[in-house]
Structure 1
Amino acid sequence: MKKVFIILSILLLGGAGAKAQQKADSLKVVKLEEVVVSATRVSQNAPIAYSNVTEAQIKEDNAAKNIPAILQALPSVVSYTEGGTAAGNTALRIRGTDASRINVTLNGMPLNNPESQEVYWVNLPDLSNSLQSMQVQRGVGTSTNGTASFGASVSMQTLGGRPKPYADISTAYGQYNTLLLSGAAGTGIMKNGLSFDARYSYVKSDGYIRNGKVDHKNLYAALSHYSDNQLIRLIYMNGIQHTGITWEGIDPAMLFVDRRYNSAGQYTDDNGNIRYYDNETDNYYSNIGQLIYSRYLSHSLTLNVNLSYNHGYGYYENYKVGKSFSNFGLDEQVIGSSTYTSSDLTLRKLMRNDFYVGGFNLDYTLGKLNLVLGSMYSYYDGVHYGRILWVKHNEDIPAGYEWYRNSAVKQDFNAFFKAEYRPLDNLSLFAEVQGRYIDYQMRGLDDDLMDLTNKNYYNFINPKGGLSFRFAGYNELYGSFGISNREPLRADLKESLKGGASRSITSERLYDYELGYKYANSVVAFSANFYYMNYKDQLVQTGKLNDIGYKLQENVPDSYRTGVELALSYTPTYWLQLNGNLTLSRNKIKDYTVYYNQYDNQTDWNYLGQVSETFKSTDISFSPKAVGSFSVTFRPFEKEDISFSFINKYVGKMYYDNTSNRDNRLQDYFVTDFAASYTLDANKIGKFDFQFFINNLASVKYSANAWVDTSKFADGTQAVYKGLYPQAGANLMGKIRYRF
């Protein structure tokens, strides 16, 4: 990257006598790329647990994988998929916290949906091929834009301009008819300072689970202009995803019959034959535009201004069996001499949203002092509505009948101030404070015809501070403390408004204590990070899902997560590299009360109210006590770019509700992936990369996620419904890439 801007400076300024000044100017512009994401990232000496991921590492073992699967080797990360492969719906947890509690920014601007507070990676397929770097911060991290970080934050930066024209074409093919086609090209930085870069990707797969099909397209384009002290970049991204519905999971008993079974869209026709609805799909169209402006105002002061617009439109469509007309506000249907109170029907639930973001940050550096001041405002306008496309027993219901509609407006304003001071060369002090205000208003009817109209206002102050001390050349000690506050999700709020809710939903607070040690030289790097995350009114998953796959949550007054994260990298020689990490943790809720819906019997299901059960101490759902990763990479020839890697992942046992019930526990699993790569340098015509992957080499049979719903009856019996998400066995993938 440094060479890019040295070349640019020479082109712009010209003259052999000015080379020294040109080099100095080029170094300034190099830093402007860093300013784009500086507000959401931490420096090398910050007292925060973090991992940096480079462009080379992103592409290293990536073939038709979404971001969560790429990050799974990092400390405390657990990734999982709905459809069994990394090409479809994927998500991740960090330190046991789910994706709705992980802040994600792209070029410093929020990417989380303001209502679900989650990033659906499937909506931006093959985004990884457009990235030049990522930083994952664990714990509350540094102040960032968008939803609060409650377990981690992920800062992503897209590719910048290159010094020369280039092209990059790749194709990959693997089992389950998985196909990836990707092409990228760029003009390089021209004499006038302009650079244009574009990439297009297409991903298609049948998926492991029945109906786990994938049909994705992604377009990325960036127009940049570089000058001595300024960078302007306009970015456009378009994602189109069509994915089969796989969120229902599989009954545990069915795993022994058919691991690839999926009940979504299943019905019985009039002749008693089992059929499947063809268009049981989830669909989303995403359009993102970003304008980035970075400039050196003086030798010590830099400015970064960001504008972002995200337009999304999506729907899912499925077949429902025997649904009562009263659920949709409809009268009984009389056809001839028959009266029908229920019917099979086809539904489409839709959503549309517009998300506007504007923000800036000023970075001032003078000697041993660095100050950052920043602010962001966002405005979200979204609508949810449902239509009935087809009714089996239909007298007078019009096609496309709309039975519900609700909308929401969410405004988010934050401002932060950061300071880093080095009173001694080996001592760094860090402090920051963020203020955040949220105005979230909902109105209209939900799909069960319940009124959602309500107004919610939140004011949060989030302070952080810490220090790091370096000694004896390669050693560093650090410690930090931070407070983070977070508002509930849309799903949490709307479920709490409805009848029978056991308690109201409120905001939550986290007190995060971190203490760490690092050692690094040219051969070995080791780190140990101890954390204690104490929560007030933490929102934890109940184990239940609503009808479109949202994970329902509830506040628990007193809970904590504590553990140690160990990481080691060892490169004793050019042909061998070892990398590993291990997280050991304890995740508990104190004085927890769980509520169950109670009914009269399993025949009539007349609702009687709720019954409760109290636990003095219990494990937090989806929080394994042990998570680890270990990889071995061999490079047998010093002068040949060829490598063989074994990437191992271990995830310990974890409960999928908060009762510590062994019947509601996923077994631990240890999975090994294999990757081989060879690069042929064809000199003047470019380079060819050949890669071969075996995912789940030992074909381990495991499930990485689950849900459970328990109901009680007056006679003391209960009904338990579960869904597990089995992952694919051993599967192969080959990839060829050409670049110049």
Structure 2
Amino acid sequence: MKLINKSMLTAIITLSTASVYYAQQVQDTVSKSKDIEEVVLIGVADIAKDRKTPVAVSTIKEAQIVEKLGNQEFPEILNTTPSVYATKAGGGFGDSKLNIRGFSQNNIAVMVNGMPVNDMENGAVYWSNWAGLSDVTSAMQVQRGLGSSKLAIASVGGTVNILTRAADKKQGGIVSLGVGNDDYVKTLFAYNTGKSAKGWSSSFLMSRTAGSMYADGTKFEGYNYYFAVGYKKPGGKHDFQFTITGAPQWHNQRSFAISIANYIKFNPDQDGTPNRRYNSDWGYLNGREYSARVNYYHKPVMSLNWDWTMNEKSKLNTVFYGSFGRGGGTNTTGTANGANMQSFRDNTTGLYNFDNIYAANQASTPDKGVLIRNASINSHNWFGVISSFNHKINDNMKFSAGVDARYYYGYHYQVVSDLLGGSGYIDKNNKNNPVNLVTATSKAEPTWNPFGGKINDLSERIGYNNDGEVLWYGAFGQFEYTNDKISAFVQGSVSNQGFQRIDNFIIDGVTKSKLGETMNTKTGFKNLFGYNVKAGINYNINEQHNVFGNIGYYEKQPFFNAVYRSNENVAFKDLTNEKIFGIELGYGFRTSNFNANVNLYRTTWDDRYLRRSSLRDVATGKTFYAEINGLNELHMGVEFDASYNFNKFLTLNGMFSAGNWYYRGNATATLFEDTSNLPFNFPGTTSNETQLYLDGAKVGEAAQITAALGATVRPVKNLSFDATWRSTNNLYASLDTYNFAIKANADRGTLKLPNYNLFDIGLSYRINLNNKQQYFTIRGNVYNLFDTTYIAESNTSNHVKQLSDFTTTTSGGVTTTAQQKYDAYMNNPANFYKGLDTSNQVFFGFGRTWAATLSFNF
């Protein structure tokens, strides 16, 4: 394939980082390109090349994002790629979740311009912190499985590379307005100066998004800013680029999965169908929407890229980056005159009555107890550098080597967000100040300070107060061989992760752990060594056919919360690395108008530790978390994707993936209450620890069989219509510690959820003005066209009850047999929904939604 020269590259990526709305301008040129590296400048990012890099890969270009995303969550753009399952989770703005090949996003490496963004303590990716990525993404690549990244990252499920390179942009700008369901409004302005004769260029973007999500009580407001300045002296060897981007936002959430019975109970229509919009985490205060669960955050990222072309054979790519995240999420704590939060729920609407809470708090005093909204702060300072030296030995061989160093300091504590009419709150969790009266409150709003801003005073902190420190040192190397037919690589990386926990609420050398060990305020660093090795080969049989294979082994360090379990300042004694072994085979077929790929994969994951948080016991209303140890999993499957250009009027694309993901052997689980960290006993027992009977059970949270088919029709110039069908099958519930602790329930396996099919449609029209650089673009989308009711995920595996689940009882001289109880249960239609027991805690997917955008390019 003829590579695009520098002038062509400049035209192609003219407005790529300013906004996804620029995509129409470059769509025709980009669609002819097969390799993502021909559209973006790579720097330190490891990008897979078509028919060269031996990994399973899908590339989402800017034009696809502008056409498909609308007001959906950013990861949902990947739902038509094989083995990907992205959901809106509870449905709050930016609360979406991504799963690849059955692995959650905590174990998927998410990279922005080559920089890792997974939380350094738990691997989490908070998409609300990156809500502006859809505005500045020029291309996104998903590498399933081992991936091609040379960094010491554990991409167990895959790697998501998001590229926002901003250099060499042609002068121009855009103004756009987007609207959608539930008062969704988005405004955007962006401008690029173009590259000057002396080599300077800059790009600027600012946007605001606000409204409500589909679920009730989910108002939000988010901003996005992006600024980049680049410099490369004409004919020079050094290319510099500085970027800063951030997305301060707040959004009301739907945090806890709700029982199907309550979705039905709190449907105003009372017609026996679920109210998919129902949200149990909010209510009204003085006639205005008020949420118990508000997330607010601002995580600006600053980076300086330096690309040095030393000579014709050697290059050095380096990025220095830093991030100052500030914010948290709210919940409620305390009691008002002995009444807990659930006592103030309206049994008719299912909402909290915050006016009654306010009145109860005013009638009480801090010593008698008040019910407040608190905020759990999760702020951090993060600095890193990645540097990669690349040397071409000859026309066939090259090698690269580099370093990846990071430092992370996290602040974790609670503050009072709203006293809700109370005069103060007494906290008894600080052993250095056991009776702390707190009257100060912190608004649930993000700070705009890009360098961090306020960290609350010690006297204002309640509940818990601990810091986490992570030191990361990594080194990597890769050797590549290529010729006309073969492309092969061998790579390896090592890393040392040092973890330290600092608890400011304990008395140094005096406070005891649950097991009686003496704890210190600072634990000292616990250093863990990990490594990975990978190898792969691609063989181009001819211009149409290619085959590839790869193999790799990881020794992955456990996360921070596995080192310091049950939130105590004692390092776990029996720590072991998680072990991942993967193997993959693939085949590709290319013609001028038809492309197809087939992949087979098998991944084992042993000695895994998992903490499941935000669990709620229906009987008591208490929230708890589960620490699960000794998980072993096997994930294997097949993937197929293809695209066919019939002619300039019609394009078809489709995919199919089928997986078999299950647990091997059993595991152990320990339960603790969320705030107090006290043991939380399994129902009907006096112990918080038990064995989980998992052997052979299906891994949940993602559909194991997915399919999609899409068509784009261009009947006339500048007008296009697209439609997509997506099918989800073999979707199972998340790991349910309650049910798998009981052998009889565990024998029934993981709860299988009903299959579902969704249809989306879209329409685009471009109006050119006299100057072709000026034009209007109109875009409209309808998602879930037929308003299908479906369950996107379940937190529980409550199977339909059997006779053996009931016992004969006698009360007041009346005996009720097990058979009578079973018959009453089976004869009550309220106990069932689409074959499921209505006690299951689930999230329904959104109903029909829509979005429309009008943009003007100049």
In structure 2, the CA distance between the partners of 1:611 and 1:155, relative to structure 1 (3 Å rule), is: closer
1:77 maps to: 84
1:464 maps to: 534
1:442 maps to: 501
Q: Deviations over 1:195-250 (max 9, x none)?
A: 11001111112111122122000100000112323311010112101010211132
Letter of the structure 1 residue corresponding to residue 845 of structure 2:
Q
Given the alignment, which residue of 572, 576, 585 partners 2:646?
Answer: 572
Equivalent-residue separation in structure 2 for 1:337 and 1:32 (angstroms): 64
1:204 maps to: 210
2:109 maps to: 103
1:221-232 aligned within 5 A = 221-227=227-233, 228=235, 229-232=237-240
Determine if the alignment matches structure 1 residue 57 to structure 2 residue 64: yes
Given the alignment, which residue of 708, 713, 724 partners 1:629?
Answer: 708
Equivalent-residue separation in structure 1 for 2:105 and 2:177 (angstroms): 30
Deviation at 1:520, TM superposition (A): 0.7
Equivalent-residue separation in structure 1 for 2:623 and 2:400 (angstroms): 40
In structure 2, the CA distance between the partners of 1:449 and 1:314, relative to structure 1 (3 Å rule), is: farther
Letter of the structure 2 residue corresponding to residue 384 of structure 1:
H
Q: Deviations over 1:145-164 (max 9, x none)?
A: 47421101111211423453
Tell which deviates more after alignment, 586-595 or 193-202.
Answer: 586-595
2:438 maps to: 398
In structure 2, the CA distance between the partners of 1:600 and 1:307, relative to structure 1 (3 Å rule), is: closer
In structure 2, the CA distance between the partners of 1:513 and 1:340, relative to structure 1 (3 Å rule), is: same
Contact 1:277-1:319 within 8 A present in 2 as well? no
In structure 2, the CA distance between the partners of 1:114 and 1:304, relative to structure 1 (3 Å rule), is: same
Letter of the structure 1 residue corresponding to residue 304 of structure 2:
L
Given the alignment, which residue of 473, 477, 484 partners 1:425?
Answer: 484
Given the alignment, which residue of 239, 262, 268 partners 1:254?
Answer: 262
1:167 maps to: 173
Q: Secondary structure at the match of 1:134?
A: strand
Deviation at 1:309, TM superposition (A): 0.5
Deviation at 1:625, TM superposition (A): 2.3
1:180 maps to: 186
Letter of the structure 1 residue corresponding to residue 57 of structure 2:
Y
The two structures have a TM-score, normalised by structure 1, of 0.85
Deviation at 1:96, TM superposition (A): 1.1
Letter of the structure 1 residue corresponding to residue 77 of structure 2:
I
Q: Secondary structure at the match of 1:591?
A: coil
Contact 1:32-1:230 within 8 A present in 2 as well? no
1:354 maps to: 381
Given the alignment, which residue of 698, 712, 728 partners 2:846?
Answer: 728
Tell which deviates more after alignment, 532-541 or 404-413.
Answer: 532-541
In structure 2, the CA distance between the partners of 1:730 and 1:338, relative to structure 1 (3 Å rule), is: closer
Determine if the alignment matches structure 1 residue 525 to structure 2 residue 542: no
Given the alignment, which residue of 353, 371, 387 partners 2:415?
Answer: 387
1:312-711 aligned within 5 A = 312-320=325-333, 322=335, 342-365=369-392, 366-388=394-416, 389-390=418-419, 392=422, 397-400=437-440, 401-403=460-462, 404-422=464-482, 424-444=483-503, 454=523, 455-496=525-566, 506-539=576-609, 545=615, 554-593=628-667, 595=669, 607-637=686-716, 640-652=717-729, 653-657=731-735, 659=740, 661=748, 664-684=751-771, 686-708=774-796
Contact 1:279-1:318 within 8 A present in 2 as well? yes
Q: Deviations over 1:88-124 (max 9, x none)?
A: 3212111111111111111111112211312211112
Equivalent-residue separation in structure 1 for 2:774 and 2:288 (angstroms): 51
Letter of the structure 2 residue corresponding to residue 164 of structure 1:
K
Equivalent-residue separation in structure 2 for 1:681 and 1:496 (angstroms): 61
Tell which deviates more after alignment, 298-307 or 314-323.
Answer: 314-323
Equivalent-residue separation in structure 2 for 1:167 and 1:540 (angstroms): 47
Tell which deviates more after alignment, 565-574 or 153-162.
Answer: 153-162
Equivalent-residue separation in structure 2 for 1:294 and 1:736 (angstroms): 37
1:236 maps to: 244
Deviation at 1:434, TM superposition (A): 0.8
Equivalent-residue separation in structure 1 for 2:221 and 2:489 (angstroms): 46
1:14 maps to: none
1:22 maps to: none
In structure 2, the CA distance between the partners of 1:56 and 1:470, relative to structure 1 (3 Å rule), is: same
In structure 2, the CA distance between the partners of 1:689 and 1:244, relative to structure 1 (3 Å rule), is: same
Determine if the alignment matches structure 1 residue 295 to structure 2 residue 302: no
Letter of the structure 2 residue corresponding to residue 645 of structure 1:
D
Equivalent-residue separation in structure 2 for 1:551 and 1:596 (angstroms): 8
Contact 2:109-2:154 within 8 A present in 1 as well? yes
In structure 2, the CA distance between the partners of 1:562 and 1:549, relative to structure 1 (3 Å rule), is: farther
Q: Secondary structure at the match of 2:842?
A: strand
In structure 2, the CA distance between the partners of 1:386 and 1:600, relative to structure 1 (3 Å rule), is: closer
Letter of the structure 2 residue corresponding to residue 348 of structure 1:
A
1:84-95 aligned within 5 A = 84=91, 87-95=93-101
Equivalent-residue separation in structure 1 for 2:83 and 2:74 (angstroms): 15
Equivalent-residue separation in structure 1 for 2:505 and 2:634 (angstroms): 34
Contact 1:482-1:513 within 8 A present in 2 as well? yes
1:135 maps to: 141
Deviation at 1:518, TM superposition (A): 0.5
Q: Secondary structure at the match of 1:683?
A: coil
Deviation at 1:577, TM superposition (A): 1.0
Equivalent-residue separation in structure 2 for 1:191 and 1:415 (angstroms): 39
Letter of the structure 2 residue corresponding to residue 313 of structure 1:
R
Equivalent-residue separation in structure 2 for 1:510 and 1:297 (angstroms): 37
More strand by share: 1
Deviation at 1:478, TM superposition (A): 0.7
Deviation at 1:346, TM superposition (A): 2.2
Letter of the structure 2 residue corresponding to residue 704 of structure 1:
A
Q: Secondary structure at the match of 1:68?
A: helix
Q: Deviations over 1:628-667 (max 9, x none)?
A: 2221111112xx0211111222222212226565684432
Q: Secondary structure at the match of 1:425?
A: coil
Q: Secondary structure at the match of 2:664?
A: strand
Q: Secondary structure at the match of 1:34?
A: coil
Q: Secondary structure at the match of 2:846?
A: coil
The two structures have a TM-score, normalised by structure 2, of 0.74
Letter of the structure 2 residue corresponding to residue 261 of structure 1:
Y
2:447 maps to: none
Q: Secondary structure at the match of 1:36?
A: coil
Determine if the alignment matches structure 1 residue 67 to structure 2 residue 74: yes
Tell which deviates more after alignment, 88-97 or 306-315.
Answer: 88-97
Equivalent-residue separation in structure 1 for 2:666 and 2:9 (angstroms): 61
Contact 1:194-1:225 within 8 A present in 2 as well? yes
In structure 2, the CA distance between the partners of 1:7 and 1:606, relative to structure 1 (3 Å rule), is: closer
Equivalent-residue separation in structure 1 for 2:337 and 2:709 (angstroms): 53
1:105-120 aligned within 5 A = 105-120=111-126
Aligned Cα RMSD in Å? Answer: 3.8
In structure 2, the CA distance between the partners of 1:476 and 1:112, relative to structure 1 (3 Å rule), is: same
Deviation at 1:549, TM superposition (A): 10
Q: Deviations over 1:691-730 (max 9, x none)?
A: 11101111111222332399xxxx9999997532222211
Equivalent-residue separation in structure 2 for 1:586 and 1:260 (angstroms): 32
Contact 1:696-1:731 within 8 A present in 2 as well? yes
In structure 2, the CA distance between the partners of 1:413 and 1:498, relative to structure 1 (3 Å rule), is: closer
Contact 2:94-2:129 within 8 A present in 1 as well? no
Equivalent-residue separation in structure 1 for 2:154 and 2:337 (angstroms): 40
